[in-house]
Structure 1
C-alpha cells in the first residue's frame, strides 16, 4: 500500500491513498475505497480494513456521501456513509476525517497546535459554492492558525472545460485558451490554493500530482469513467 503524506511537523496522522495494495479487480484495481462506484462491496470493505491497519488508524474513517456542494459536518454528526456533506471536521483525538476522490481536489486542514482537523472534497462546483470557506468557518480556530495540504487531483493540462465553467472558477485569473477551441484549462489545485490563501490560511502545500496522467498510481474519473476512489484522511494523534 502506497501513501502520499503532507510534509507537516504536526501531531496529526494524515495521508492520501494511491491505488496499489487492495483486492478490487478490473477498473477498480486495486485499492478502491468507494462503496458507491459499482465495485464488489466485500472487496471495498476489505480495502477499507487494510487502510485501517496499514495507516495505523485508531478507528474507521467517517465516510461521507459527497454531493459536490458546500455542506460541512462535524465527525460526530456522521451516522453512516449516507451522511450528505463534502467536508468533515473534528477536535477529538483518534477520530478520522476522510474524503473520497478520483480527480476532484482533496484538502486536509490542521490547526498548528493539533487541536482540530478537517478533510474537504472540492470539485469545481464545490470550490465555487464555497466549501473551503464554509469549512474554515466551521472550525474552532481562525484561518491564520491553520495549515492546509492539497493532495493529488486532475492537473491543468488534463482538465479542459467550457467557458462558463472556466469563468465560474477562474474569474479574472489568468489562463490560456486551448488551441483551436473555445475551451480552456483549469488548474484546480491552484484555484483551491488561491481560495485558501484569500480566506487567511497562510501555509498551503500542494502535492502537484495529476491523477489523470498516472493510471498506475491514481484513479481518474475523467480518464476512465468507471473507476475507483482514493481517500484523503486525517486524524489528531492519540
Structure 2
C-alpha cells in the first residue's frame, strides 16, 4: 500500500491504487489553494491553483502557484507543451517547450506531469515501482494512440505489469460530441459503441447527430487492449464539480490542474521520505 505523505499548503487527490509500491508518489491538484484570482480563482472567492501559463492568467500568479507545487516535490516540474497528439518523451531528456502529450521515467526523483481541465490525465506505474508515466488524453489523443504509446515506452524501459489511474476528467453525462468522434472510435473498435449514448433529436441544438461519450470507458478499453487491466479512478466529473475542478467545457476561460507521479528515493524535501 502506498505510504501516507502530505504535500504542503494545498488540497489534492491521491490515486486509490493499493497495489502500487510504497515508494511511488502520485497526485492530482485541484483548483483550490493558490494565488490566482477572478475566473482562475476558486469557487469560494479565494485564490486558485492555476498551473497553466497559456490561459491568460497573471503570469506572476502562475509562477507563485508553480513554486508552491514545486516546494512539495523532489524536483521542479517541467511541463509539456501539449498538442493533443501521441508523442511520449522521457523525463531524463525533457526541456521546456517540448511538444508531447506523455512523459515517462525510470529515474527516481524526476517528476512526470500533465495539465488538464476536462481532458483525461492518466498516471502509470509498473508493479515493481521502477517505471512511471503521465499521459494527457483528450479524445484526439486517445484516438491517435497516446495511451498505447505510453505503455510501449514503459515496457521498453523494462516495465512488467502496469497499473493505471485515471484522474479527473469530463464525465459521461457532460461530454457531448458529434458524429465524427463517434465514427473515429467505432471504426477502430466496434465495442466502442458501448461508450456512447445517442442524444435524441429533441435534445440537439444546431442540428446533426450528437452523443454523450464516456471518455473513461474509452480509455479503459484502450488500456485493456494493450494488457493494462488494473485500472482505477474515473469517478470524477470536472464539469459538474465547479468547487474542486477547472473545466474548459464549462467555463471557456479557466485554469489548469496537474496530475503528477514520481519514484521517491531516500529523504525528500518537506519531510517526505520512503
Q: Could you say which TM-score interval applies, normalised by the shorter chain?
A: over 0.9
Partner of 2:88: 72
Instruction: Note if contact 1:124-1:169 (Cα within 8 Å) is conserved in structure 2.
Output: no
Instruction: Note if contact 1:122-1:131 (Cα within 8 Å) is conserved in structure 2.
Output: yes
Partner of 2:199: 178
Find the structure with the greater CA-based Rg: 2
> Structure 1, residues 191-229: CA drift from partner, whole Å, max 9, x if none?
111111111012100241000001111000010000000
2:34 counterpart of 1:22: yes
2:235 counterpart of 1:198: no
Deviation at 1:170, TM superposition (A): 4.3
2:55 counterpart of 1:34: no
Looking at structure 1, the residues matched to 136 and 114 of structure 2 have their Cα atoms a distance apart, in angstroms, of 6
> Structure 1, residues 138-164: CA drift from partner, whole Å, max 9, x if none?
11235x511000001001111111111
2:158 counterpart of 1:141: yes
Secondary structure in structure 2 of the residue aligned to 1:21: strand
Structure 1 unaligned spans of 5+ = none
Structure 2 unaligned spans of 5+ = 1-9, 42-47, 266-274
1:38-57 matches, cutoff 5 A = 38-53=56-71, 56-57=72-73
Secondary structure in structure 2 of the residue aligned to 1:119: strand
The number of residue pairs the alignment matches comes to 234
Instruction: Note if contact 2:92-2:107 (Cα within 8 Å) is conserved in structure 1.
Output: no
Judge which range, 124-133 or 189-198, deviates more.
Answer: 189-198
What's the C-alpha RMSD, in Å, of the aligned pairs? Answer: 1.2
2:237 counterpart of 1:210: yes
The normalised TM-score by structure 2 is 0.83
Judge which range, 167-176 or 206-215, deviates more.
Answer: 167-176
> Structure 1, residues 103-162: CA drift from partner, whole Å, max 9, x if none?
0000000011110100000000000000001111111235x5110000010011111111
